[in-house]
Amino acid sequence: MENNQVKSNIWKYYLASALAYFGFFTPIIQLFYLDHNLTITKIAILGVAWSIVRIILEVPSGILADKWGRKKVFAISSLFAVFQVIMLIYATNFGYFLVASIFSAIAYSFLSGTNTAFFYDTLKQLKKEEQFEKLWARQEIFTQVPLIIAFLSSGFLYKLSPILPFQLSLIFLIASFVVVLTFKEPKIHKPIEEVNVFTHFKQSMKFIWENNFLRAILLFTVIFSIGSDLSYGYGQIYLKQLALPVVLFGIAYTFKSLLCTVFANIAPSIRKKINYRGIFALQIILITVLFYVMILTNNYLVGAICFVLIAIPHGLFTVSKNSYLHRHIQSHQRATVDSMFSFVVALSLLVIEPVSGYLADLYTMKFPFFLIAILLTIYSIYYLIHGRKKI
């Protein structure tokens, strides 16, 4: 009976994710900020605030998920996602946007690590953990219909009313929260001796530092995420500066999401053919090349195509990185270690994001993108010569 309830977590997780993916505002959020007279520097400040909250909560949320339960932390994440959109709907000045950004960071931090740990431990209890890659990638399929509907319509909805995309998203986020409340907490395989949260944190830190494989993939994750996250987060500003029509923003994001889904689902097959070292090399080389094309082009269609194509290495990365991590960590550390990876990424973005925003205001988004391309180039050379041997 209990296993049947746990088994239902799989389709309920897909349903909750699908409902949350009705993000009608995602492709136009940066345009929404700009239309409310926010400079790129102020938009970057929102990103900094987001990163600070994420840094503060990232590891504690993972520890809570390991010690308190995945479902409860998952529910907190869903609730703050609702609060974020409510704040955006009623936003009239920068303060509202700042609070919304903080709520978004809380939602993300409590979800980061918790979702994969919840899903993996569900499969582990069902003795199906070897299917993690396949079933985790399958969620991308279930989220595509709502995401395509939301993204394709976002530009048109925004032209009708700038608030409409947010109002529609709110309805589906509330429904997703309700589904999360019906989850069944999977068993968490804890060590016999219980430890306090600070000891748990130190043990996980030590575990990563002393594990050559985890140290190597942590460095890769930081470098790759700087390119992937900033291209996604500031892609709308980049495309607007190239004069891409507003109605095409949703279409660009739709194709980007579809590509991400396709390559997330074929990532296990590619990984089996060229192993983890090969698939990570493919990812870092592809994103580096695409950044250089985005910098060099003045054609908005070429820029949009490259922006979309970054979904290929990103889709490969999301599945292969999670798979690699969960093969090297134990259940009682799973959410904490995953959260610590996100913690380090957030710390890196905290430094890079305000500088990128300031430089974009002085010049264009191409200049910070150029600096990121140089960073990706240096790391690509390092990885191909030396770094891949550690993975």
306 in any annotated domain: yes
Q: Is residue 186 part of a domain?
A: no
Check which CATH number belongs to the domain holding 101 and give it. 1.20.1250.20
* Model confidence at 118: pLDDT above 70: yes
Is 337:58 a contact under the CB 8 Å cutoff? no
Report pLDDT for 386.
82
Q: Exposure pattern of 24-48 as b/e (b: 16+ CB <10 Å)?
A: bbbbbbbbbbbeeebebebbbbbbb
Position 188 in a domain: no
Residue 190 lies in a domain: no
Whether residue 191 lies inside any domain: the answer is: no
pLDDT reading at 2 higher than 60: no
Instruction: Tell me if 269 is assigned to some domain.
Output: yes
How far is residue 265 from each of residues 212, 232, 258, 302, measured CA to CA in Å? 28, 20, 11, 26
Could you list the residue range(s) of the whole structural domain that residue 169 is in? 2-181+196-390
- The predicted model gives 359-377 an average pLDDT of 95
Q: What is the total count of domains within the chain?
A: 1
Residue 194, pLDDT above cutoff 70: no
- pTM for this entry: 0.75
Considering Cα of 288, then 220, then 334, then 106, what sign does the dihedral take? Answer: negative
Asked, for residue 81, whether it belongs to a domain, the answer is yes
pLDDT in tens, 54-102: 878 877 777 777 777 788 888 999 999 999 999 999 998 999 999 999 9
Contact between 255 and 377 (Cβ < 8 Å): no
Question: pLDDT, tens digit, for every residue of 6-35?
Answer: 788 888 999 999 999 999 998 899 899 999
In a domain, 217, yes or no: yes
